[in-house]
Amino acid sequence: MSLQILLNVVLAFLWMFIKVSYGPIDFIKGYIFGLLVIFVLRRYFQTRFYVYRIWSFVKLTLIFFKELLLSNIAIIKIVLKPKLDMRPGIFALQTDLTKDWQILLLSSLITLTPGTLVISVSDDNKILFVHAMNLGEIETEINNIKNTFERAILEVSG
Amino acid sequence: MSLIVNFLIGFFILAGAFLCLIATFGVIRLPDVYTRNHAASKATTLGVMFILVGTFIYFYSFLDHFNSRLILGFVFLFMTSPISGHLINRSAYNSGVKLWDRSVRDDLKTYNEAKEKNRF
């Protein structure tokens, strides 16, 4: 991905040198033309066309904000309820992610989402221990996390 | 237009202040370290972020001043606050702070016990 971006910047500079004008507008024009060239030649690269990956990163950020809002609404509900009748607990979450930065991202996402907080990561980086504020059905919670966050992170890295 | 901007600024500042208040109530009311950490690490993050966004819009629309430091503060807060919450929780658990007595299950304890058993 970084190789493609670097190539795109080089193509933009090439465009500026061909036009013999060095303003930011020319850079942007050259960047767009370079993007077109890379899109045409995309099957010669090892990785995907990099705009897809940037798009999935934007999607991940949007998911993050949405979940942050929902988690705050859940916290407000629990705190302002007259009776403390939540059922906290720690559950184990098997994760398919392998790289360190993916696990870091996943645990930050879990920490900022409704009613869950990561306590510990097992030594072999395969299990996350998550403290849940309101432990309903564990299976559904795990499936929620898996379907939204893990898939989004895998899309960014894949 | 100006009315909408005014409304947005007021909404962001008031919502941020309200969320911080809720977080304080949560820290006072909830029973143990872990549940308190839930309230403190989530509600204050979004609350302070709302206040920063409101300040940013105010300076941008009324004084025509684009303050990039507010955006940086926003991003840094977003990156660091979940990690601090995680570390406080982790150190509390490892130094043996007990869960609330009405907690339902504890998978980490069984995991640690299994690890101890395998070692010896």
pLDDT tens-digit series, residues B18-65? 888 988 888 888 888 888 888 888 888 888 989 998 998 888 888 888
Asked if B103 lies within 8 A of A89 by C-beta distance, the reply is yes
Decide: pTM greater than 0.80: no
CB-facing half-sphere around the CA of A99: CA atoms within 13 A: 9
B residues 9..48 contacting A (CB < 8 A): 19, 22-23, 25-26, 29-32, 34-35, 37-39, 41-43, 45-46
- A40-71 CB burial, b ≥16 within 10 A, e <16: eeeeeeeeebbeebeebeeebeebbeebbeeb
A140 vs A13: which has the higher pLDDT: A13
Nearest CB to B90; choose among A68, A89, A119: A119
Asked if A108 lies within 8 A of B82 by C-beta distance, the reply is yes
Range in A28-32, A61-65, A114-118, B110-114 with the lowest mean pLDDT: B110-114
A80 exposed, middle or buried (CB, 10 Å; 0-12, 13-18, 19+)? exposed
pLDDT computed for residue B14 by the predictor:
92
Inform me whether the pLDDT recorded for A82 exceeds 80: no
What is chain A's percent helix, strand, coil content, to nearest 5?
Answer: 65, 10, 25
Question: Which residues of chain B neighbour A90 with C-beta distances below 8 Å?
Answer: 99, 103, 105-109
Instruction: Number of A to B CB contacts under 8 A, please give it.
Output: 107
| pLDDT single digits (tens) A90-135 | 777 777 777 888 888 888 888 877 778 888 887 777 788 888 777 7
ipTM of model over 0.85? no
Inform me whether the pLDDT recorded for B7 exceeds 80: yes
Residue of B nearest to A91 (CA): B107
